[in-house]
Amino acid sequence: MTANNVQHGLTQENILAVKAYLMGLQDQICAALEMFEPLSRFKEDAWDRPNGGGGRTRVIENGEVFEKGGVNFSHVMGDKLPPSATADRPELAGGRFEAMGVSLVMHPKNPYVPTSHANVRLFVVHKEGMESVWWFGGGFDLTPYYGFDEDCTQWHQTALEACEPFGEDYYDRFKKWCDEYFHLKHRGEPRGIGGLFFDDFSELGFADSFAFMQSVGDAYIKAYHPIVAKRLATPYGERERDFQLNRRGRYVEFNLVFDRGTHFGLQSGAGRTESILMSLPPEVKWGYDYKPAEGTEEARLLTYFLTDRNWLNRGL
């Protein structure tokens, strides 16, 4: 799949419709997650860019359930695409860009509640001498510290249901892409149990590609909310907490070394450093050559859950 789709279906009205959806999605997700917190609420930091655009960074910290989390909306413009955006599209080098999206990461306090990530976005490139190019991207993925088969199956079933109205193969394609993308190459291990990841998506035309992105965006809270509700009261102690903090180190490594969104935001200068790095957990450990003891639930996370499993027993 490449970003060859051009102006067809792209109007200013359509861009504004995407923006309105994304801002509404941010509101809905924050409200749904705040339901778990008796006192803590997301704090909003609205910001503007001198070169155009801005965003709403919303962060929650030190909650009863969420130790730290962020649900961000941004709509930014730039005069020149950074290297991270043109590595696979050299023909777009030098183009002006417009990017908008919602990106979130939630780091729960209880090690039995998994970390979650989601992102949905629209990217438009304008370059003299060629028609404007646009594409959607996004997805969601889950990073447990203690795995439960039913949680993983429910997460992937919700992902499947988000994709099914648009074609039978989308879940299989984007599940595989997610497994391949959220992979720590230097560790030789997945970051989590996956979900969906797609980029450069324009093959359905603007209206249906937008509808697909909406379906994925709406599915995140449907997938995550029941898992949080089920696991938030699970008792835990120092052993579980220590394992969680060491595994969070893997999350930091991926976001700083591999994540395209982090690289784009920092390279382009279009983002905002505090908003970009809000995805990092508040506490983390890097124990030297840290390995869980064989036969433990901690070891089972690595040998059973973090193996790019086919959770729905589909013929991928």
**Is 183 part of any known ligand binding site?**
no
DSSP per position, 89-108: -GGGTT-EEEEEEEEEEEEE
Lowest average pLDDT, out of 63-67, 226-230, 312-316, goes to 312-316
Lowest average pLDDT, out of 45-54, 169-178, 200-209, 291-300, goes to 45-54
Report the pLDDT averaged over residues 178-185: 91
Report the pLDDT averaged over residues 54-82: 91
Higher pLDDT, 81 or 199: 199
Q: Residue 1: which pLDDT band, with cuts at 50, 70 and 90?
A: very low
Cite the active site residues: 117
Give residue 5's pLDDT: 42
**Is 186 part of any known ligand binding site?**
yes
Reply yes or no on whether the pLDDT at 196 is more than 80: yes
Give residue 7's pLDDT: 42
Give residue 255's pLDDT: 78
Give residue 263's pLDDT: 59
**Is 8 part of any known ligand binding site?**
no
Q: Residue 4: which pLDDT band, with cuts at 50, 70 and 90?
A: very low
Lowest average pLDDT, out of 22-31, 68-77, 126-135, 283-292, goes to 126-135
Reply yes or no on whether the pLDDT at 83 is more than 80: no
Reply yes or no on whether the pLDDT at 95 is more than 70: yes
**Is 117 part of any known ligand binding site?**
yes
Digit-coded pLDDT (tens) for 164-181? 999 989 999 999 999 999
Higher pLDDT, 126 or 90: 126
DSSP state of 49: -
**Is 225 part of any known ligand binding site?**
no
Reply yes or no on whether the pLDDT at 185 is more than 90: no
Reply yes or no on whether the pLDDT at 13 is more than 50: yes
Chain-wide mean pLDDT for the chain?
Answer: 88
Q: What is d(CA 315, CA 294) in angstroms, rounded to the nearest whole number?
A: 31
Q: Reduce the DSSP state of residue 209 to 3 states and report it.
A: helix
Q: Strand locations in 90-211, DSSP E?
A: 96-108, 115-127, 130-143, 183-184, 189-190, 194-201
Contacts of 223 (CB under 8 A, 6+ apart): 140, 142, 154, 155, 158, 159, 195
**Is 310 part of any known ligand binding site?**
no
Length reported for the chain: 316
Percent of the chain with pLDDT over 90: 65
Give residue 249's pLDDT: 87
Residue 82 gets the label, from left (phi > 0), alpha (psi -120 to 50) or beta, of beta
Q: Can you tell me which residue has the tokens 């510290």?
A: 145
Report the pLDDT averaged over residues 251-263: 74
Digit-coded pLDDT (tens) for 41-58? 999 999 888 777 889 999
The torsion angles phi and psi of 252, rounded to 5 degrees, stand at: -65, -45
Angle at 221 between CA 67 and CA 140, to 5 degrees: 85
Give residue 270's pLDDT: 52
Give residue 280's pLDDT: 80
Continuous segment of H or E residues that includes residue 48: strand 43-48
Higher pLDDT, 270 or 188: 188
Q: What is d(CA 202, CA 137) in angstroms, rounded to the nearest whole number?
A: 9
Give residue 252's pLDDT: 84
Continuous segment of H or E residues that includes residue 261: helix 260-268
Digit-coded pLDDT (tens) for 112-130? 999 999 999 999 988 776 7
Q: Residue 85: which pLDDT band, with cuts at 50, 70 and 90?
A: low
